[in-house]
Structure 1
Amino acid sequence: MQVYKVLLCVIFFLIPFSVSAQKKQQDKISPIEQKMLDQGLVNIKTLNPEILVELKYATPDNFMKKNVYGELTHAYLQPEMAKKLSRASSFLQQEKPDFKLLVYDAARPNSAQYKLWDALDDLKIPPRSKTQYVADPKIGSNHNFGCAIDLTVVDENQKPLDMGTSYDFFGPLAYPRSEQEMLRQGKLTSKQIANRNILRKAMIKAGFTVNTTEWWHFDGMSKKQARAKYGMIK
């Protein structure tokens, strides 16, 4: 009986700290992320903690060489997209139990889309070719509706698989549609293409579609569908 009383005291003592810890965690959400939550998007890792996240545009490790996202450090998607991604993670681990998905980009505010669009001028990308790499912010990317995901696969040491190019590589070497030609030219290896297919197989099985010019990019629905169903993330 004495032990029971002690346990009750411990439980009641810890409850305030538990509530305080939860509140502290909620307080860490930045205004931009709170706005995304208010729009109905969900944090991918709350749905599936097995999925790894490293938002490239929240670091200098991107083609702009600077942090574009500021306080946006978590990956968000529309709920149905997040569920698809969680299924893709499960399909991957059924085939490769030690492998995991690593997310590079997810929902993107349209304000950041303008920064990416303008950065292409600094790279001397011709205006007529800009939309091949970044969607015109006036129209929006599927990322701007929370319906697209950029990602790769990591091995048991959490090292990204060799996909033949880095993330955001500009050129045919990154194009899924050009893989066989790149293979014939000796610019891609069969192993690199096989690694891409590991990712592709899981994503397609979960209901995503492949982007023809970016091995890392997958859409959960068409842009027309996304625009009709969801508002743009500002």
Structure 2
Amino acid sequence: MRAFKVFFSIAFFSVCFTSGQAQHAKNQPEKNISPTEKKILDQGLVNIQTVNPDILIELKYATADNFMKRNVYGDLTHAYLQPEMAKKLSQASVILQRTKPGFKLLVYDAARPNSVQYKLWDALDDLKIPVRQKTQYVADPKIGSNHNFGCAIDLTVVDEKGQPLDMGTKYDFFGPLAYPRSEQEMLKQGKLTSKQIANRNILRKAMTQAGFTVNTTEWWHFDGMSKKQARARYGIIK
């Protein structure tokens, strides 16, 4: 009986210790975070992957694979959203995997500091985008984008092999080819295929069923609430 008690005590301690390690591992993304990310967390936002680790992250503005061809995020390497937005995104992931087993969401951009918004805005001048068209592609930083409140998400879908679906354009493409509102016209002109539009609809279906709204000029962009609501509820991310 004494040997059994000793064995039980050791086993119980082992289970508790293992459980503690698992909990620590779950919270690991929040450890040793950068100063920028700490500020974002201090404002109440959450790391998307701590809400749903099945969601993949590839922040385009933390790489040179964007319209500016340079990293403008610096020490921001994780994707953050307001808690209710992250919950909606997690729901979208569940919906996607239920309808398309093996497919996953791949996030290109989420919460964005307003300081970066100014860099994106100024970069349009280098591309010779007319002033009257600038807000069609990048929100005026003086007003703020829904990204600046942690209430917008840019993303795509990857298949079972981890390959992004063909959406007809790359992320950050400027022009009607990326516009959801112009898809049927682009299809008639032979610039988009039925398969590419069907791929976009896979993403849209999951996102809209989770409560996001479609952006009419960017197939990759979805809003969790209006900018007016976001501004009233949350402070802008500096």
Shorter-chain TM-score bucket reads over 0.9
Change (3 A) 1:102 1:22: closer
Partner of 2:218: 214
Q: Distance in 1 between matches of 2:176 and 2:7?
A: 69
Partner of 2:137: 133
Displacement after TM superposition at 1:210 (Å)? 0.3
Deviates more, 1:59-68 or 1:11-20: 11-20
Alpha-carbon spacing, 1:157–1:126, altered in 2? closer, same or farther (3 Å): same
Matching residue of 1:117:
121
Matched residue of 2:132: which SS?
helix
Cα distance 1:186–1:11, how it changes in 2: closer, same or farther (>3 A)?
A: closer
Output the amino acid matched with 1:60. Answer: A
Letter in 1 for 2:170: S
Separation of aligned partners in 2, 1:31 and 1:84: 27
The residue that corresponds to 1:181 in the other structure is: 185
Is 2:81 the counterpart of 1:53?
Answer: no
Shift of 1:153: 0.3
In the alignment, the residues of structure 2 paired with residue 13 and residue 180 of structure 1 have an alpha-carbon distance, to the nearest angstrom, of 58
Indicate the larger mover: 124-133 or 187-196: 124-133
The Cα shift of 1:6 comes to 5.8
Paired letter, 1:59: T
Equivalent residue, structure 1, for 2:41: 37
Question: For 1:5-48, what per-residue CA distance to the aligned partner results, in whole angstroms no more than 9, with x for missing partners?
Answer: 66578789989988998998654211111111110000000000
Deviation at 1:207, TM superposition (A): 0.5
Matched, 1:92 2:96: yes
State yes or no: 1:146 paired with 2:142.
Answer: no
The TM-score, its normalising length taken from structure 1, stands at 0.93
Structure 1 runs of 4+ off > 3 angstroms? Answer: 2-27
Q: Say what the alpha-carbon RMSD is for the aligned residues.
A: 2.3
Q: 1:162 aligns with which of 163, 166, 172?
A: 166
- The one-letter amino acid of 1:68's match is V
Percent same amino acid among aligned pairs?
Answer: 77
TM-score of the two chains, using structure 2 as the length reference: 0.91
**One-letter code of the match for 1:188?**
L
Q: Which residue of structure 2 lines up, in the alignment, with residue 79 of structure 1?
A: 83
Distance in 2 separating the partners of 1:62 and 1:207 = 27
Which of 54, 57, 62 does residue 66 from structure 2 map onto?
62
Question: What do residues 93-130 of structure 1 show as CA deviations (whole Å, max 9, x unaligned)?
Answer: 11101100000000000000001001111111111111
Q: Helix, strand or coil for the counterpart of 1:121? A: helix
SS of aligned partner of 1:102: strand
SS in 1 for 2:220: strand
What amino acid does structure 1 have at the position aligned with 2:126? D
The equivalent of 2:197 in structure 1 is 193
Contact (CA 8 Å) 2:178, 2:219: kept in 1 or not?
yes
Picking from 110, 130, 134, the partner of 1:106 is 110
